[in-house]
Amino acid sequence: MQRVIIVYNPRSSKQALIQDEVIKPMRAIKGYQVGKYEVKQIPVEENAKNLTKILMDGDLILVAGGDGTATVGLNAAMMTEAKVTLGVLGYGNFNDMANMLGEHKCEDLLADFQRGSIRQLYPLEARINGEFFRYAACYFSIGMFAESTEEFNVKDTRNSLKKGKKRLAYSIKKLMRWYFSSRKRNFLPPDIQLNDTPINNMRIAKNGRKNITRGRRTTDVLFVNSDTVAKMMKGGNYWQRKDEYLVSHGKLKNVFRLGVFMMKSILFHLPGKVMSQETKIDFSTPSEIEIQAEGEYKRVQLTELVVKKSDKAINVITKS
């Protein structure tokens, strides 16, 4: 009998829909042995390790939730030694991972699984200060975009999303309010280097210290593996490739610069460079930086961040 492990977050803004459209129907379908894993209020890595303890060869990990919940399922699938398949049903605000693999309803996903509509996903892998951090199917980001995701953990925001009346437009409105109240802050240090190359234009002041032109400091660095970022910005179909992903960075404090960056990203694709090797960001002094992977963020003390394509691939269900 096929084992299916449903991964879901009981605190999700769409928990009622998940119960009615995924958990109850799955338990009623003959031929499937259904188990559940509830995402706990602990770090992604701990949730993923706990999930690996119940996985067996041949299991289908069926994620029903947003990108944060999908990240738990992805990391468990990467960390386990069992041969498993990952399927993702989008019940979040942006659902980048679900959109990347093809939007499904529960019964359609099972049908594609039975038909063998399965491909290999090569996720990104990040190391912080030399230690493994996390896998990401779609993207990592550091800086302003990463910090903006904290807005969706505010109690009033989560309560509004749970009502089911506000979706993408509401999320964009919240982000824009946050941007205009926060854009003058410094999100990244001025002297960071990407693969030993400074990404800010530094100048030497009269006192001999290095300064940076006002308003020209890099605010964001993104490492992109997916077709879209936050449902709006176009990335690229890198997730099926063993050794390619996109690196993009921008100086987005200025409203005009942000507008140009977003227009290019929405109408064409994210401006950036396709990388085939690992990307290393060096910080001359340890800095507290927000790092985000598909909606799940963490503030860490960084001296070095390395991102690359993982050597391991996993099986994922795609739209037939």
CA–CA separation, 208 and 198 (whole Å): 18
Q: What is the pLDDT of residue 124?
A: 98
Per-residue pLDDT, 295 = 81
DSSP assignment of 57-85 equals TT-EEEEEE-HHHHHHHHHHHHH-SS--E
Question: What's the pTM?
Answer: 0.92
First to last CA, the chain: 24
- The Cα 223–Cα 231 span in angstroms is 15
- How much is the pLDDT for 53? 97
Mean pLDDT of 289-302: 92
Is the confidence at residue 168, as pLDDT, over 80? Answer: no
Reply yes or no on whether the pLDDT at 91 is more than 50: yes
CATH of domain 2-122: 3.40.50.10330
Q: Quick one: pLDDT at residue 320?
A: 87
Mean pLDDT of the region 86-111: 93
pLDDT of residue 146: 93
Indicate the average pLDDT of the chain: 91
The fold adopted by the segment(s) 125-309 is Tumour Suppressor Smad4 (2.60.200)
Parallel, antiparallel, or unpaired: how do β-strands 124-128 and 245-250 relate?
unpaired
Contact yes or no for 223/246 (Cβ under 8 A): yes
> 112-126: per-residue pLDDT in tens?
999 999 999 999 999
Task: Tell me the C-alpha to C-alpha distance, in Å, between residue 287 and each of 143, 244, 278, 291.
Answer: 11, 28, 21, 12
User: Distance between CA atoms of 9 and 12, rounded to whole angstroms?
Assistant: 5
Residue 54 CB coordination number (10 Å): 15
Element (H, E) at 108: helix 106-115
**How many other C-beta atoms lie within 10 A of the C-beta of residue 24?**
11
List, in sequence order, every residue forming a beta bridge with 234; answer none if it has no partner.
228
Mean pLDDT of 278-300: 92
Do the beta carbons of residue 306 and residue 126 sit within 8 Å? yes
Q: Where are the domains of the chain?
A: 2-122, 125-309
Query: Tens of pLDDT along 204-252?
Result: 565 666 565 555 789 999 999 999 998 889 999 999 999 999 999 999 9
User: Residue 165 has what pLDDT?
Assistant: 46
> Do the Cβ atoms of 72 and 289 come closer than 8 Å?
no
C-alpha distances (whole Å) from 257 to each of 84, 115, 253, 264 are: 44, 46, 7, 11
